[in-house]
Amino acid sequence: MSELILYGFPVSPYVRSARIALIEKGADYHYNEIGLDHLATDEYVRLNPFRKMPVLQQENFVLYETPAILGYIDEAFDGASLQPADPKARAQMRKWIGISSSYLYPVGVMQLFLQRIMFPIMGNEPDETLVEHSANAIAQYLDVIEQELVDTFLIGNALSLADIITGAMIDYVNMTKEGSALIHARPKTAAWLSHLSQRESFKQSLAGLLEGKKQR
Ligand SMILES: N[C@@H](CCC(=O)N[C@@H](CS)C(=O)NCC(=O)O)C(=O)O
């Protein structure tokens, strides 16, 4: 198969999701690590006119939007399927992919994680009002995860794209002291995240910048 290239900044949970899926499938790929400044270049806009990451490229096939990338990775490569065959289960998986992008990312990543973890790395002071607001919002979303989890995985009894994208975002929430307390008050969610974070794919895809940054 022709060379597969993934572009993105390693801290991005969307980029990390794609890396997790590639590792889970055992796909051979080249990771082209780019910084946020690269999104403004003419070279990048030719790959993604919306200037977001990740982008997956395989010769003249260029794909952006994480749900599409995750589906392609699963379907184009051998290895255990990351999508359930049953239509209802597959629909539930897509529901979680939508929840992650529409609700978890804006509050859990762009507010709580950004303020608590990334701001100190960048030398900025967190906005405590925003931290409190986002922790309250994410608590409600964690309640939904806790109610829906029946077993080790979000859907059925196998790892799916739902666990990958939702897990990548909740893992970042768990790095914050507020998020960690909320997750550990929800035993099924805590056990689910603990299983995921022990997978090689989750360990190998953690950005070096974030190592040792989990708050205690
Ligand atoms: N809908 C896009 C969202 C991707 C996205 O928001 N990526 C972030 C990184 S986590 C990004 O590129 N941010 C740069 C920016 O908004 O300027 C997807 O599913 O891939």
Which ligand 1 atom sits nearest the alpha carbon of residue 53?
Answer: 12
DSSP 157: T
Cα(150) to centroid of ligand 1, in Å?
A: 31
What tokens does 6 get? Answer: 């993934």
Asked if residues 66 and 109 have their Cβ atoms less than 8 Å apart, the reply is: no
Cα(212) to centroid of ligand 1, in Å?
A: 24
- pLDDT, tens only, 37-69: 999 999 999 999 999 999 999 999 999 999 999
User: Does 38 sit in the ligand 1 pocket, CB within 6 Å?
Assistant: no
The half-sphere exposure of 94 on its side-chain side, counting CA atoms within 13 A, is 9
Q: Which among 154, 147, 142 is positioned nearest to 196, based on CA atoms? A: 154
Determine what percent of the chain is predicted with pLDDT higher than 90.
98
The pLDDT of 192-209, averaged and rounded, is 98
User: Does 160 sit in the ligand 1 pocket, CB within 6 Å?
Assistant: no
Which ligand 1 atom sits nearest the alpha carbon of residue 14?
Answer: 10
Angle at 170 between CA 164 and CA 172, to 5 degrees: 110
CA distances (Å), 79 to each of 163, 166, 171, in order? Answer: 17, 21, 24
DSSP H or E stretch at residue 128: helix 128-148
DSSP 100: I
Cα(156) to centroid of ligand 1, in Å?
A: 29
- pLDDT, tens only, 23-32: 999 999 999 9
pLDDT number for residue 1:
62
pLDDT number for residue 216:
86
**In the chain, what is the greatest distance between 2 CA atoms, to the nearest angstrom?**
50
- Phi-psi bin for 8: left (phi > 0), alpha (psi -120 to 50), beta? left
What is the amino acid identity at position 13?
P
Cα(106) to centroid of ligand 1, in Å?
A: 11
Asked if residues 183 and 193 have their Cβ atoms less than 8 Å apart, the reply is: yes
User: Does 141 sit in the ligand 1 pocket, CB within 6 Å?
Assistant: no
User: Does 53 sit in the ligand 1 pocket, CB within 6 Å?
Assistant: yes
- pLDDT, tens only, 81-131: 999 999 999 999 999 999 999 999 999 999 999 999 999 999 999 999 999
- pLDDT, tens only, 122-168: 999 999 999 999 999 999 999 999 999 998 999 999 999 999 999 99
Domains along the sequence of the chain with CATH:
4-76 (3.40.30.10), 87-208 (1.20.1050.10)
User: Does 65 sit in the ligand 1 pocket, CB within 6 Å?
Assistant: yes
pLDDT number for residue 2:
81
pTM exceeding the 0.75 threshold for the entire prediction: yes
User: Does 66 sit in the ligand 1 pocket, CB within 6 Å?
Assistant: yes
Determine what percent of the chain is predicted with pLDDT higher than 70.
100
3-state helix, strand, coil in the chain (%, to 5): 60, 10, 30
Pocket mutation for ligand 1, best pick of 19, 33, 53 (most atoms within 8 Å of C-beta)? 53
**Residue 13, preceding peptide bond in cis (omega within 30° of 0):** no
